């Protein structure tokens, strides 16, 4: 439990020096939280390390070599995982040491405050200028003693605990964060066994951007459009030759390059199909979000409508 001064000593402490504004109970709770996190993370880290080592015994090849090299640097033997484990193990001890220093400083300073309060009360009981003079001298002596206590506490934390925390916890964790990186195989892709040439290409996810990678939402929209095409019997609408608008309301398949040889009814139907397909695709884009292939198809249909019929809705 944290050290608390009685009211009389607290008023005297205000004249002797600053009371350490640190709750050692909070420090103890923080230390317990770190121990819990370490206890939980340690078995998981051991399982991951064992799993990666097991992969190396089964899979061979260039990608497996890259993975093993990566894990030697980042894994649980001497790599970053082991360094993080050592830092988490050391942190609670340093925090507990700091809490002990805070408690010791509070006890020593509080003792000075209590003794000074009693002495001053006795001196003031004599009354007169002599009593006040001695009481003032006693307060000044107590202030000097408390100042020495606070200075020693600060030096203990600053010269012992702070460097220990920096060398055992802060710097190792900073090195881990600064040097941590994904495993890299040939061609700059993550090293995974089983793929062509030992790699599995991966598409990065990010904000939706016409010229950049698609987001997860765009990928879902694209899968929905592919499912629609699959349910309609294929991209060509169920046969070769000229494309047509299927039951989804979108035009699929090849767009004619000219209307030569078409009857007026066929021309009208083609124009109507393109206009309705463009409207349907734009509504779908508004609902599901931007996707590069979908936008390119809209541009092709709009261009065909202008080219074949001279205008576009």
Could you tell me where the beta strands, DSSP code E, fall in 237-289? 244-245, 251-252
Instruction: Output the pLDDT for position 278.
Output: 92
Instruction: Output the pLDDT for position 207.
Output: 43
Instruction: Output the pLDDT for position 117.
Output: 87
Here the contacts of 267-270 (C-beta below 8 Å, separation 24 or greater) are 267/309, 270/308
Given a cut of 50, the residues of the chain with pLDDT beneath it are 185-217, 220, 230-240, 313
Enumerate helices (H) and strands (E) in the chain, giving the number of each.
Answer: 10, 2
- Conformation bin of residue 194: beta by default, left when phi > 0, alpha when psi is -120 to 50: left
Is the pTM above the cut of 0.85?
A: no
Nearest to 82 by CA among 179, 172, 178: 172
Instruction: Output the pLDDT for position 203.
Output: 42
CA 138/CA 116 separation, integer angstroms? 7
- Say if CB 256 and CB 272 are below 8 A apart: no
- Say if CB 121 and CB 17 are below 8 A apart: no
Instruction: Output the pLDDT for position 225.
Output: 55
Calculate the alpha carbon distances from 45 to 48, 49, 83, 121, 175 in Å. Answer: 5, 6, 12, 62, 18
Calculate the alpha carbon distances from 313 to 58, 247, 262, 284 in Å. Answer: 60, 21, 22, 16
Q: What is the pLDDT of residues 160-169, one digit of tens each?
A: 788 888 888 8
Please provide the size of the chain in residues: 313
Alpha carbon 48 to its chain's center:
20
């Amino acid at each position: 439990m944290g050290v608390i001064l009685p009211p009389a000593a607290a008023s005297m402490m205000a004249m002797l020096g600053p009371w350490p504004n640190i709750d050692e109970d909070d420090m103890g709770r923080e230390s317990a939280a770190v121990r819990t996190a370490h206890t939980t993370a340690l078995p998981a880290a051991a399982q991951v390390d064992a799993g990666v080592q097991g992969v190396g015994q089964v899979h061979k090849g260039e990608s497996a070599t890259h993975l093993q090299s990566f894990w030697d640097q980042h894994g649980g033997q001497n790599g970053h995982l082991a360094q993080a484990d050592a830092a988490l193990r050391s942190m609670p001890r340093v925090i507990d040491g700091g809490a002990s220093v805070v408690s010791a400083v509070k006890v020593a300073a509080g003792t000075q405050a209590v003794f000074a309060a009693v002495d001053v009360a006795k001196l003031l009981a004599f009354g007169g200028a002599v009593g006040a003079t001695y009481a003032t001298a006693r307060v000044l002596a107590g202030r000097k003693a408390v100042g020495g206590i606070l200075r020693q506490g600060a030096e203990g934390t600053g010269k012992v605990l702070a460097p220990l925390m920096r060398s055992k916890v802060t710097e190792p964790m900073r090195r881990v964060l600064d040097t941590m990186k994904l495993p890299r195989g040939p061609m700059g892709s993550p090293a995974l066994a089983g793929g062509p040439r030992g790699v599995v290409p991966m598409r990065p996810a990010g904000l939706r951007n016409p010229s950049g990678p698609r987001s997860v939402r765009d990928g879902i929209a694209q899968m929905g459009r592919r499912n629609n095409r699959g349910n309609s019997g294929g991209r060509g609408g169920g046969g070769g030759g000229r494309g047509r608008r299927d039951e989804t309301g979108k035009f699929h398949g090849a767009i004619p390059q000219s209307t030569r040889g078409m009857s007026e009814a066929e021309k009208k139907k083609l124009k109507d199909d393109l206009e309705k397909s463009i409207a349907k695709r734009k509504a779908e884009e508004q609902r599901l979000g931007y996707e590069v292939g979908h936008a390119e198809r809209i541009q092709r249909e709009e261009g065909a409508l202008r080219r074949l019929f001279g205008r576009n809705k």
